[in-house]
Structure 1
Amino acid sequence: MKYDILLAKLSLLLLYCLLACPSTASAQNNYDDGIIRKRGWFVFSAAADRTQFLTDSSMQSFGLNFEFYLSRRLSISYRFALGNTSEGSFLGRLTLGSYASSFPFRAALQDRGQNSEVLMYAALICFVLPDEIAYNIPMGTNLELGLYVAPAGALYLSRKDEYDALRSCFGAGVKFKIHQPPLVLTPYVGILQPYGPNPLGLHAGVLLGVRL
């Protein structure tokens, strides 16, 4: 019941924000003149988030988020964070690509032959695979609505008296990017679902960043 009430409140908050913002058509007219007009923005942010799973377990983390705007609308992000779970396990959050890149990288160091260059390129390609992709909709001169999907996240769990575990996970949600140069404040809410027979989680957090 408490999850239904929480989801209802979040839905009402989202509806209020959408109705309170200027229309998308009006915002588009001011878009090129606003502070969101340039391509290739890089945003470096401190991040804090919490996930509440339907099994009453939870986790929270603090870390760094790197976002790069490929265009006015499209951006990619990378998240690296440390935290813990309600069961007392250590939690590390990273991108699945950065974890996958360690295998060809180690192979290249051990090979030191003709294949080492190919392996290093493979490691680089894996590393730059983003954790998150967002489509950003201008809602005003200083506000963006970011619809994001994060299909390549990874959670590293270190448990007491148990083997460590790496879980890949899927996430999706909405971000409210409030631009106040040089700062960017981004509260967000969404879902987080580790792949496999794992519980669904309600995911929320905030980013405070600087445009570079």
Structure 2
Amino acid sequence: MHRTPLGKFREKLLHRPSDASPGAEREGEPIAFGMEGPLVLRFVEEGLDPADEARLAEEVAKTLPLRWSLPTRALERLDLLSERLGGERKLLEWLDGHPGLPRVTARLLVLADSLDRYTDDPAVVTAVRDFRSAHGLPDELRGVLPPATNAETLTDISSRLERQLFDHDAPEARSLGLATSRWLRDAVSAGGSPSPALAETGEVMARLHEDIAEASL
């Protein structure tokens, strides 16, 4: 993910619980949402061999989209990993370093965050509305978006992406991510001479589209 705009990612994936107590992991607490406490602690304290680290990355990829409904203990484990790796951006970079589901999940979460950010940009929303009026929707987005295009349109797609990952439907999420990044790239570039801000948005979406296309399950 070295070419993606990860530097723009807003570190909002995790919320550290006020009663975090990592030492509880040593008491043999059962697995929470697929994340093994002892495996997390070993990674944090001494590192893992490649096979176990790959297994942990798979577990994190399956857990991270569930973060809004995770119990406190599972959030603590994610927070431990994030701190060990140097923050949420580094957590996503670490996931991206593991092929398959971890890489796809990391890149789709960056796309979802970008969509949430651009939904607050009136120029992007106007470009999307005008492009949709002139060209309609690609097949992949028909039935996904409501008839009206407004400030909630990109957030709606972002929420759908996260819902598909939440439901462990990574193939559909990947397909939606590819269609969305391509559509938004084309929409902000359709005017011929986009503003610098729209041109940057187009570049971001183009890079994200390439990265998602390169990540296979």
Same fold (TM > 0.5): no
Higher helix proportion (structure 1 or 2):
2
Question: Which TM-score tier does this pair reach, normalised by the shorter chain?
Answer: under 0.3
More strand by share: 1
TM-score (norm 2): 0.24
